[in-house]
């Protein structure tokens, strides 16, 4: 199982990468939406993506919209992992195709539960 983690904070990418890695998931990383699209072209489709909302160049919401518009990634499971807590923003992300939403800060158990709800936790984890 592979995940793409997109966050402009190197520290947050490392934290989320460790949480996901502890579940037995391989990870690739990008610092913004543009890097994520390049990463997808280079490494192919992951099993799911974890996207921060607020990033430079191309934010997570713009990336989500781009993914949903691309037939290769239209059904890619996407979890928004962000400090964006406005209910209107959460609703907007879900309406545009985010599968789940995790608000920072969060614990490994919260992330695992969200991934489990989507059937994305590898068996035996």
Domains of the chain: which residue ranges? 2-117
- Residue 97's Cβ-count burial label (10 Å; 0-12, 13-18, 19+) is middle
CATH class for the region spanning 2-117: alpha beta
Per-residue b or e along 70-87, where b marks 16 or more CB atoms closer than 10 Å to that residue's CB: eeebeebbbbbbbebeee
What confidence score (pLDDT) does residue 124 get? 60
First vs last C-alpha separation in the chain: 12
Helix or strand holding residue 63 (H, E): helix 60-69
- How is residue 112 written in tokens? 């695992």
pLDDT single digits (tens) 49-96: 999 999 999 999 999 999 999 999 999 999 999 887 888 988 999 999
| CA quadruple 79, 9, 20, 38: dihedral sign | positive
pLDDT of 125 over the 80 cut: no
Q: Is the pTM of this model over 0.75?
A: yes
Cα dihedral 80, 83, 87, 90 in deg (nearest 10)? -10
Rg (CA), the chain: 13
């Amino acid at each position: 199982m592979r995940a793409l983690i997109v966050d402009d904070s190197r520290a947050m990418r490392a934290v989320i990468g460790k949480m996901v890695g502890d579940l037995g998931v391989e990870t690739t990383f990008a610092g913004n939406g543009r890097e994520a699209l390049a990463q997808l072209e280079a490494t192919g489709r992951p099993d799911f993506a974890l996207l921060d909302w607020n990033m430079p160049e191309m934010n997570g919401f713009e990336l989500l919209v781009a993914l949903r518009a691309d037939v290769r990634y239209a059904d890619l499971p996407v979890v928004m992992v962000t400090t964006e807590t406005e209910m209107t923003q959460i609703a907007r992300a879900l309406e545009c195709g985010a599968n789940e939403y995790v608000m920072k800060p969060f614990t490994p158990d919260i992330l695992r539960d969200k991934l489990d709800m989507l059937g994305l936790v590898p068996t035996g984890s």
